[in-house]
Structure 1
């Protein structure tokens, strides 16, 4: 039995940089009394280097291949809350795997996302000449993919991690009840914004 009480596997948290995936994911795991895992942390531990170093030394394609393998293994083995990196949903295989899970999409507006990330050099895709334009392009390109995999969507702008987690849990519970007890079977999503 999974973190939601009725599904196998983890509750997965997705969203762009600065949406609070790790922070909110930890709160969700604590409230549910389950383990928390973070894809980026798992990749860094497994590779023995930072994501920035992987990007710099091997390139984005190599990083995405490592990310896809790491996520596939964790989705099969982890039964708690699992936060993915912002670009994980770019993989068609990963999106297909997520269809079997409860997925919470943490949506963040551009201004709030930029403020939260601080346009950090630790985030390889935000480094460059015009990081604000890069962030906007990233949001525009990824939004449909986040929504494609989402079971629930929660807006994070100007909200605390506790409030966001509470809203996500309400959405998951509503979804669970409306689908007859298995939130991962119905392709439609419940949006909570």
Structure 2
């Protein structure tokens, strides 16, 4: 069974949608960032503090390489997974769904979460806009399906993905 891979910016709902999608499709749910934290025994923020973004990205690629070898999973990726060409090649092994959302929704969903190292000590809105400028085209380029996730009810987003898969 082909993997369903969710991509999109932080705060787009990849984990929340992924869990419901996995339940509805009777597939296992895996969050690559959570798997990295579990394996390292520390938070993503701590990895960024110690190894920097480059160190984290190497760990991310290694984890994605392992996870994309599995079959029949719903995989929520980190927001920056698409930046690396190596990662994009790995993600193409599955059916890629881009959860598209507005900067306003991202701000609302990320403002209380302390485990967002790219948003530490910066103007969050400006940083999210910069990240979208850098990554937006990559999300669209890699997507087999683009779904607006923003302010929608999660079950409706999941319904749309499942309907597309059935076609």
TM-score greater than 0.5 by the shorter chain: yes
Other-structure match for 1:95 = 88
**CA distance in 1: counterparts of 2:73 and 2:52, whole angstroms:** 31
**Structure with the largest fraction of helix:** 2
Structure 1 CA distance for aligned equivalents of residues 37 and 13 of structure 2 = 19
Q: Name the stretch that deviates more: 56-65 or 90-99.
A: 90-99
Cα deviation code 1:131-152 (max 9, x no counterpart): 1100111111111111111110
Runs of 4+ in 1 over 4 A off after TM superposition: none
Structure 1: distance between partners of 2:65 and 2:28: 17
Task: Quote the offset at 1:119 in angstroms.
Answer: 6.1
Alignment partner, residue 28 of structure 2: 35
1:4-83 maps to which residues of 2 (within 5 A)? 7=2, 10-83=3-76
**Structure 2 Cα separation of the partners of residues 15 and 137 of structure 1:** 14
Structure-2 separation of matches of 1:70 and 1:91? 13
Q: Structure 2, unaligned stretches of length 5 or more?
A: none
**What value does the CA root-mean-square deviation take over the aligned residues?**
1.2
Q: Secondary structure of the equivalent of 1:154?
A: strand
**Structure 1 contact 21–83 (Cα < 8 Å) conserved:** yes
Which TM-score applies when normalising by structure 2? 0.95
**TM-score, normalised relative to structure 1:** 0.83
Which is bigger in relative contact order (C-alpha 8 A, separation at least 6)?
A: 2
Quote how far apart the aligned CAs of 1:100 are. 2.3
Answer yes or no: is 1:152 the counterpart of 2:140.
no
Cα distance between partner residues in 2 of 1:71 and 1:129: 28
8 Å contact 1:152–1:172 — kept in the other structure? no
Structure 1 or 2, whichever has the larger Rg, is 1
Structure 1 stretches of 5 or more lacking a match? Answer: 175-193
CA distance in 1, matches of 2:33, 2:71: 15
In the alignment, the residues of structure 2 paired with residue 112 and residue 24 of structure 1 have an alpha-carbon distance, to the nearest angstrom, of 15
Alpha-carbon distance in structure 2 between the residues aligned to 1:35 and 1:90: 25
